[in-house]
Amino acid sequence: MASNKNNKLNLEQQKYQSFAQKREPRRPLLSNCLKAFISGGAICVFGQLLHFMYIKYFSFTENNAGDPTAATLIIISVLLTGFGVYDTIAQWAGAGSAVPITGFANTISSAAIEHRSEGYVLGVGGNMFKIAGPVIVYGVFSAFVVSIIKMLVNYMGGI
């Protein structure tokens, strides 16, 4: 990817960019990955505990306990976003807070909260999916493509 970009830059620009890069602090990859591992893992463990709780105390089954678990995580994430805490956690956790479903809820709620000053229809309604939109679009489209491919594969005798 880096070499691709360099092809579009002239020599002076390339020389400058390597000059600049030497003076920029590197992203702390190892510590970021460690923090993401810990926080992402912790959120998943919390989800697992919720899962067990819903099966034991609310008579859900192994199959459908995923729904209230997801809903609970989403509500907690929305509350943390609303209280202005989620972004502070995310600065530390990085992908550990963005990749779980809590990150998805954060994108929707943060955009909704941000744009209430533009009204509830065009502001909140119109901007809610600013960051979550691509996730839904690409999720749906890839599910569509994969199922079509599976359908064709089965039709042609299966592999």
Partner 1 sequence: MVKGHQSFIFESKPVILASATSAGPFEAQGPLAEDIDLIHDDIYLGQDSFEKAEKLMLEGAAVKTMEKAGINKYDVGLFISGDLMNQIISSSFTARTIGIPYLGIFGACSSSMEGLSIAAAYVDGQKVKYVLTGASSHNSSAEKQFRYPNEYGAQKPPTAQWTVTGAGACLLSTQGNGPKVTGATIGRIVDMGISDPFNMGAAMAPAAVDTIEAHFRDMEIEPDYYDIIVTGDLGSIGHKITLDKLIENGMRISEKTYKDCGMMIYDSKKQQVFAGGSGCACSAITVYGHFLNRMRRGEIKKMLAVATGALHSPLSYQQKESIPCIAHAVAIEM
Partner 2 sequence: MEKIIWAFIVGGLICVVGQIMMDVFKLTPAHTMSTLVVVGAILGGLGLYEPLIKFAGAGATVPICSFGNSLLKGALQELEQHGPIGVLTGIFKLTSAGISSAIIFGFIASLIFKPKG
Residues 52-81 touching partner 2, rule: CB under 8 A, are: 66-71, 73-75, 78-79, 81
- DSSP calls for 113-157: HHGGGG-IIIIIIHHTTTTTHHHHHHHHHHHHHHHHHHHHHHHTT
Query: 10 — alpha (psi -120 to 50), left (phi > 0) or beta?
Result: beta
Site for partner 1 in 83-122 (CB under 8 A): 84, 86-87, 89-91, 93-95, 97-98, 103, 106-107, 109-111, 113-115, 117
Distance CA 143, CA 15 (A): 44
Shortest spacing between CB 12 and partner 2, in angstroms: 23
Of 6, 17, 44, 126, which lies in the binding site for partner 2, with binding defined by CB under 8 A?
44
100 HSE (CA, 13 A, CB side): 27
Residue 53 or 98: which CB sits closer to partner 1? 98
Scan residues 94-153 and list those touching partner 2 (CB under 8 A).
Answer: 94-96, 98-105, 107-116, 120, 124, 128, 131-132, 134-140, 142-144, 146-151
